[in-house]
Each structure stands twice: as C-alpha cells, then as structure tokens.
Amino acid sequence: MRRAATLVVLAAVLSGCGSGGSGQITVGAARTFDLGGFTPKTFTAGKAEPMSFTIKQPSGAPLTNYKKGAGPHTGVHVIFVRSDLGELVHVHPPIGPDGRVHENIKLPTAGRYRVVVDAYPNLPGALDEVRRLLAPDGRFVAVIPCEGGFGYSLARRFTSKRLFEREFGRDYDWFIRFEHINLPWEIEGELEKRFEVVETRYFPLRIPSVGLNLIIGLTMRPRRA
C-alpha cells in the first residue's frame, strides 16, 4: 500500500533574521511538518489492524497540542481512499499524551490505497511556539488565502473546483470546507496578539482588499511586552 499524507497548517516561514549593513532580510528555508513512524505498511482486507503514527514538528518533536472541541475541524482525521475511489474509510483516531496517534483500521477490500492525514493544530498554541522561537530581531512571514472573498471564490470556481469535480465527480465545496477552516481576519486577529505587522502585501491587485485579492502576505516581528 502506497501512502501519501497532507497536513493542514498555517502557510508560514519562520526564520532567524540576519540584518547586514544594507538592512536586507535573509529568509531561510521553510521548516516543515512530517509524518513519522506510520505503521503498518500493508493491511489485510477485512481484518482490523492497529495503525499508528506521529506528526513531527519542524523541531523534530512530536505535535501534541491539537485543536479541541465540537465540530469537524479538530484533532486528527485519517482518510483511506482506494485508488479507484471505490472505497473510503474515514476515522477520527485518539491522540496520546506523547502525540502518538493510534486506531484500529479495517479496509473492506484489497487494492492500492492512499492515506490523507488531516490535522488541526491548536492555532493559538502554535503561534505561541513561533513567538517563543523567533529571535528578537527575527521576522515571521505568513501567507494567508483570501478565503471568503469574491475574487478567491470566483477564481476557485473556474480552476480547482471545475477540475476537481470533473476528475472525481464529487462536490468540491464540501472538500474545501475541511481545508480552509479560518477566515483571514480570524487568523490576523491571532497573529496581531503576538506580532507587530511591519509589511502587508496583497496579490494579485495590490489593493488592500480581501474581497478582490487571492492572498495576503504579512511580514511581522515579535510584539514587545
């Protein structure tokens, strides 16, 4: 069984800022999350078998702080999809104190499956950790989709929505509700509690409007106590 995993996280780059005489900012490579220790590598059709894995943070430590509460956008979702889309198994496994995810999985039929791991970290907790790790003269760069805006919705209708529904014959709006769970002003509100925005850029029109653009780029520095 081949595996593929995606992780829902804030699109951001954390870097130590090196400032030279020119005042330029050097941005290092993005730090990424990783799926570690996924077992087993194969399953027997019709038999429940224990699955486990850990989501590794950029530091290498396991992710343990997840969003909790009612609603679908919490914890971890694990989705097994047969390559011909004939079978789908969707579970919400428990997460141990050490961040290890465990669940018994029973795949009904044999075949090649892909696995999607959809995780929802606790956003305030994740931003607190970014703030803790950021150097005093560092910069935190975040790129936020203009979800909910007219331009973003229109662009999606003629691109990814059309392609997705033609390829898979499934409703794309249902899918995207599980992908973009926060609106721009919700994310900005959490960011501004911890950081000072030093530069804001809009794309593609560069007009300061969520409704008319596709993404917002924010460059921030630590907020002084």
Is residue 103 assigned to a domain?
yes
pLDDT in the model for residue 25:
54
Question: Model confidence over 132-169: pLDDT tens digits?
Answer: 888 889 999 999 989 888 998 898 888 888 888 888 78
Query: Of 93, 121, 149, which closes a domain?
Result: 121
Question: Model confidence over 79-129: pLDDT tens digits?
Answer: 999 988 888 999 999 999 999 999 999 999 999 999 989 888 887 877 888
Is residue 34 assigned to a domain?
yes
Is residue 24 assigned to a domain?
yes
Is residue 28 assigned to a domain?
yes
Alpha-carbon span 40 to 210, nearest angstrom? 44
Number of domains present in the structure of the chain: 2
Are residues 89 and 53 located together in one domain of the fold? yes
Question: Model confidence over 1-13: pLDDT tens digits?
Answer: 333 333 333 333 3
CATH number, domain of 74, equals: 2.60.40
pLDDT of 18 > 70? The answer is no
Residue type, 137: D
Are residues 105 and 170 located together in one domain of the fold? no
Query: Of 121, 149, 175, which closes a domain?
Result: 121
Question: Model confidence over 205-225: pLDDT tens digits?
Answer: 989 999 999 999 999 999 887
Is residue 127 assigned to a domain?
no
| 5-9, 59-63, 174-178: range with highest mean pLDDT | 59-63
Are residues 110 and 147 located together in one domain of the fold? no
Is residue 130 assigned to a domain?
no
Are residues 61 and 86 located together in one domain of the fold? yes
Mean predicted lDDT score pLDDT of the chain: 81
Is residue 133 assigned to a domain?
no
Domain hosting residue 31, numbered range: 1-121
Q: Are 49 and 40 in contact (CB under 8 A)?
A: yes
What is the reported pTM? 0.55
Q: Are 97 and 55 in contact (CB under 8 A)?
A: no
Is residue 128 assigned to a domain?
no
pLDDT of 20 > 60? The answer is no
Are residues 62 and 145 located together in one domain of the fold? no
3-state secondary structure 187-205: HHHHHHCCEEEEEEEEECC
Q: Are 172 and 159 in contact (CB under 8 A)?
A: no
Tell me the sheet residues that pair with 66.
Answer: 121
